């Protein structure tokens, strides 16, 4: 497939039956597989069903892209978003792999041209949305296009328990049967045990080999800060990263537009994104962000699934997300190139109250209980002084231990203080309230009593006449709420399940209260975010010059910049400073087709910048 003149010409690679590692280097520019990739690729090449849960940035796409160039027949990729299909096709074509997608966004002449190419066997991969697969004429054409295997990306969409349920994914099992029981590979980045079972059952996978990589993203730094003076903190955070791409998630469409306008007024290159925008404007804003024409996107959770932008250096949650799973998925859009990235969450009691209000409005009792439990897990994550990774990975059934060194609580551990008096006051209030009324109450009611608030319920139940009424009026509400939740996490209090949960003393709590045992509590988190993560080693001037060159080449080809080379590849170039094609070929991410198309151009830029640097030094 590859050829060229001269001693530095790439070696010819056969289309089928090449060694996987040879094909990996030739097409994608990597010497070694990431964890589990080689095993999954082997299963696909052998025609077996497989199911893989790999973290965002873990290389899911390669698991079906590499077999597509190593075995005859067309690989059908089911993908939920047109933007993702287009980006992946652009990247594949740039790497020398013939691929295409079909969607209603294409002009009729272009659509017909691609269909003719499919009939002629011109493509190795075809991307389709699940909704398009339900069209009768598409199913008929697929049979004539010699589909040899199916890859189902974002497979969690098939499960009602998944965070992006798409009903049309349920039809994929029928499609597989209509194509002659061809092998299926299902992939996702986030799936609890229940969602994994759903995927296997609903896709009717046949004795699949299941691969579940660790959910840890060691290059992501997690931090939670109080949502006080939030805009000032956000602006400072973004300005520290003025040349980098970032996503700021908000809870509402109005907030997305308002925040984007404020940042723009303060000189930040920003655009909004939400489902209420005109589709053309929404797609244009996404395209500008993906192509580095806009540095920051202010978005609702409508933005992000399947965004294949590898150089997002930070994700900020300006408003509280709904659950741990969504939060993990959204933060996972940072640092997909493996370089350091930041994940910042603003946390406030006001946002918790809003979420509780939304839960209260739900009609289904089971749904309310589930959503409330998910919210509590998220609150525990935000308020805890323990390692953030332990909390996140524990949600997915992993049990890491020790200090991760890459979250705020591990990098700057919170101070512990003797909180015995605060704990005694809180637990005594729980005891006195139950003693006075004969039933338990919730966290917020206990705090109302401690603060001396004469609410309707406090007066009606006579809690304004007990000894702990107004006992905690010297502290703010937020601090008492944090104390109560920490006592629950520490096992001194138990919170009953359900929306109208109540607090009860545990045996440990009764003992601590009666014996006046010492109770250590965590101080509040540091109010400011950390400064930007240091970049990988390498000459910054050279890196910026290479980034500008990459942007120019990408614009000429009408593709996102990372399609040419990732930030990680540019970092390697700025560190290793290749001087010829042999040295350029050794750079991770430089495949044979890209070496032909871009190698000499980048070598010339490296030589020019280094020459200018040497001249300036003499």
Range 521-532 average pLDDT? 58
Rounded to two decimals, the pTM is: 0.77
Residue 561 resides in a domain: yes
Residue 122 resides in a domain: yes
Residue 9 resides in a domain: no
- Residue 239 shares a structural domain with residue 379: yes
Higher pLDDT, 530 or 128: 128
Name the region of 615 (left: φ>0; alpha: ψ -120 to 50; beta: rest): alpha
237-296 pLDDT, tens digit each? 999 998 899 999 999 999 999 999 999 999 999 999 998 999 889 889 988 998 999 999
* Whether pLDDT at 531 is above 70: no
CATH number for the domain including 94? 3.40.50.300
Range 71-86 average pLDDT? 86
Domain boundary among 363, 394, 411: 411
Q: What percentage of the chain exceeds 90 in pLDDT?
A: 55
* Whether pLDDT at 183 is above 70: yes
- Residue 516 shares a structural domain with residue 573: no
Domain boundary among 191, 212, 233: 212
Nearest to 331 by CA among 319, 317, 318: 317
- Residue 94 shares a structural domain with residue 81: yes
- Residue 224 shares a structural domain with residue 158: no
Residue 263 resides in a domain: yes
* Whether pLDDT at 172 is above 60: yes
142, 135 in Cβ contact below 8 A?
A: no
- Residue 356 shares a structural domain with residue 432: no
Residue 424 resides in a domain: yes
- Residue 362 shares a structural domain with residue 511: no
CATH number for the domain including 495? 1.10.10.10
Residue 596 resides in a domain: yes
Range 114-133 average pLDDT? 93
DSSP string, 135-170: SHHHHHHHHHTTEEEEEETTGGGGSTTSTT--GGGG
Nearest-angstrom CA–CA distance, 587 and 589: 6
- Residue 484 shares a structural domain with residue 445: yes
* Whether pLDDT at 79 is above 90: no
- Spatial neighbors of 180 by CB under 8 A, at least 6 apart, are none
Q: Which residue has the tokens 């997300």?
A: 321
pLDDT grade for 534, boundaries at 50, 70 and 90: very low
32-73 pLDDT, tens digit each? 999 899 999 999 999 999 999 988 777 899 999 999 999 999
The whole domain housing 109 covers 33-212
The three-state DSSP-derived secondary structure of 564-585 is HCCHHHHHHHHHHCCCCHHHHH
Q: How many domains does the structure of the chain reveal?
A: 4
Domain boundary among 163, 187, 212: 212
- Residue 239 shares a structural domain with residue 193: no
Residue 593 resides in a domain: yes
Q: What is the pLDDT at residue 4?
A: 35
Count other Cβ atoms within 10 Å, centred on residue 470.
14
- Residue 444 shares a structural domain with residue 465: yes
- Residue 444 shares a structural domain with residue 558: no
- Residue 377 shares a structural domain with residue 465: no
Our measurement of the distance from residue 566's CA atom to the centroid of its chain's CA atoms, rounded to an integer in Å, reads 18
Nearest-angstrom CA–CA distance, 441 and 231: 35
CATH number for the domain including 565? 1.10.150.80
- Residue 74 shares a structural domain with residue 201: yes
Helices (H), 342-400: 349-360, 365-383, 388-395
Nearest to 436 by CA among 414, 457, 455: 457
Q: What percentage of the chain exceeds 70 in pLDDT?
A: 91
589, 525 in Cβ contact below 8 A?
A: no
Residue 433 resides in a domain: yes
461-516 pLDDT, tens digit each? 999 999 999 999 999 998 898 899 889 888 899 887 666 778 999 999 999 999 88
């Amino acid at each position: 497939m590859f050829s060229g003149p001269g001693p530095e010409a790439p070696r010819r690679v056969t289309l089928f039956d090449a060694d996987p590692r040879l094909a990996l280097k030739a097409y994608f520019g990597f010497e070694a597989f990431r964890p589990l990739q080689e095993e999954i690729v082997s299963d696909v090449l052998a025609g077996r069903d497989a199911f893989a849960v790999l973290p965002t940035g873990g290389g899911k796409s390669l698991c079906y892209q590499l077999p597509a160039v190593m075995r005859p027949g067309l690989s059908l990729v089911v993908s939920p978003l047109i933007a993702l299909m287009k980006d992946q096709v652009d990247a594949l074509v740039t790497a020398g792999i013939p691929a295409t997608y079909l969607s209603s966004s294409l002009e009729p002449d272009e659509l017909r041209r691609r269909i003719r190419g499919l009939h002629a066997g011109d493509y190795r991969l075809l991307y389709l949305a699940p909704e398009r697969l339900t069209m009768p004429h598409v199913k008929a054409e697929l049979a004539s296009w010699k589909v040899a295997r199916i890859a189902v990306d974002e497979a969690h969409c098939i499960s009602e328990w998944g965070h992006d349920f798409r009903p049309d994914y349920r039809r994929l099992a029928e499609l597989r049967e209509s194509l002659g029981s061809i092998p299926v590979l299902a992939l996702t980045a986030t799936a609890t045990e229940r969602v994994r079972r759903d995927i296997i059952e609903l896709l009717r996978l046949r004795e699949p080999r299941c691969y579940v990589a660790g959910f840890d993203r060691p290059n992501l730094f997690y931090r939670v800060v109080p949502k006080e003076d939030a805009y000032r903190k956000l602006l400072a955070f973004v300005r520290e990263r003025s040349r980098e791409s970032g996503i700021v998630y908000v809870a509402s469409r109005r907030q997305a537009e308002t925040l984007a306008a404020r940042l723009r007024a303060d000189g930040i290159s920003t655009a909004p994104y939400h489902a209420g925008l005109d589709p053309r404007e929404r797609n244009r804003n996404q395209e500008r962000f993906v192509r580095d024409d806009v540095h920051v996107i202010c978005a609702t959770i409508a933005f992000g699934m399947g965004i294949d932008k590898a150089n997002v250096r930070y994700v900020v949650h300006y408003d509280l997300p709904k659950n741990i799973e969504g939060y993990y998925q959204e933060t996972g859009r940072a640092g997909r190139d493996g370089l350091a990235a930041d994940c910042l969450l603003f946390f406030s009691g006001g946002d918790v109250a809003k979420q509780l209000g939304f839960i209260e409005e739900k009609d289904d009792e089971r749904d309310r209980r589930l959503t409330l439990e998910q919210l509590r897990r998220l609150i525990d994550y935000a308020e805890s002084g323990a390692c953030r990774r332990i909390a996140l990975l524990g949600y997915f059934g992993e049990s890491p231990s020790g200090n991760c060194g890459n979250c705020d609580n591990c990098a700057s551990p919170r101070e512990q203080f003797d909180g015995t008096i605060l704990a005694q006051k809180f637990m005594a209030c729980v005891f006195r309230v139950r003693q006075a009324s004969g039933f338990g109450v919730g966290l917020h009611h206990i705090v109302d009593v401690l603060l001396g608030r004469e609410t309707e319920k406090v007066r009606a139940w006579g809690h304004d006449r007990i000894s702990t009424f107004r006992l905690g009026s010297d502290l703010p509400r937020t601090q008492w709420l944090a104390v109560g939740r920490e006592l629950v996490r520490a096992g001194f209090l138990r919170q009953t399940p359900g929306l109208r949960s109540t607090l009860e003393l545990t045996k440990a709590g009764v003992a601590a209260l009666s014996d006046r045992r010492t109770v250590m509590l965590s101080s509040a988190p540091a109010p400011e975010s950390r400064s930007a993560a240091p970049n990988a080693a390498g000459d910054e001037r050279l890196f910026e010059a290479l980034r500008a060159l990459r942007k120019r080449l990408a614009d000429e080809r009408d593709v996102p910049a990372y399609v040419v080379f990732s930030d990680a590849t540019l970092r390697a170039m700025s560190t290793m400073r290749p001087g010829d094609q042999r040295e350029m070929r050794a750079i991770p991410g430089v495949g044979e087709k890209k070496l032909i198309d871009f190698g000499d151009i980048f070598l010339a830029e490296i030589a020019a910048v280094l020459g200018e640097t040497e001249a300036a030094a003499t």
